[in-house]
Amino acid sequence: MLDTLFFILWVIATFAIFIYLKNRTSVISFNGMTGFIDAYLGLLIESGIAAAVVVGVPLWILQKVGLYIIGAVVIIAVIAMVVKKGGNNDKKTTSMSKVINEDNKSNRKQIVDEARFCANCGEKINRDDLFCGNCGEKVK
């Protein structure tokens, strides 16, 4: 029974880790389709090894302790969280230029909000200032 449970969890974990790695890896091939197949086969092998460690070590430890069901639930929960987190990150992906532009807009707005000038002398004053630091005029 434990072997079947390990195999099922290993297949699920391998698939989840492969999808996670595939979405975060750029593959460029100079050998046509053969290069892509080699690259993705390498990712699949890495995923299988990682899944064997992620699933096998806890099951081995839990086998020694005798808590198979708890171990299976914990492993399934971890796999579900990894898959869910990977899916959420993909939806939030934006181009770097968009992020930079949005960041610049917020910085400009903050600078405009904070940058005010004295009506008397024209000196730059902060938003929270009650009096001009240059001429002492009360800020309106």
For residues 119 and 140, the answer to whether their CB atoms sit within 8 Å is yes
> From CA 77, how far away is CA 73, in angstroms rounded?
6
Residues 31, 63, single domain; the answer is: yes
Residues 11, 79, single domain; the answer is: yes
Residues 16, 36, single domain; the answer is: yes
Residues 107, 79, single domain; the answer is: no
Residues 81, 103, single domain; the answer is: no
pLDDT at 91: 44
Give the domain range for residue 128: 95-140
Torsions phi, psi for 117 (to 5 deg) = -125, 145
Residues 60, 102, single domain; the answer is: no
Q: What is the pLDDT along the chain (140 residues), one digit of tens a residue?
A: 667 878 888 899 999 989 988 888 777 777 778 888 888 888 899 999 999 888 888 777 777 776 666 777 788 888 888 887 755 444 444 444 555 555 555 555 555 455 678 888 888 888 778 888 888 888 87
Residues 66, 119, single domain; the answer is: no
> From CA 134, how far away is CA 120, in angstroms rounded?
10
Residues with Cβ < 8 Å from 80, sequence gap 6 or more? none
Torsions phi, psi for 127 (to 5 deg) = -65, -35
> From CA 42, how far away is CA 101, in angstroms rounded?
37
User: Which of 93, 109, 132 is a domain's end point?
Assistant: 93
Count of domains in the chain? 2
DSSP 139: P
Residues 88, 99, single domain; the answer is: no
pLDDT at 80: 84
pTM of model > 0.85: no
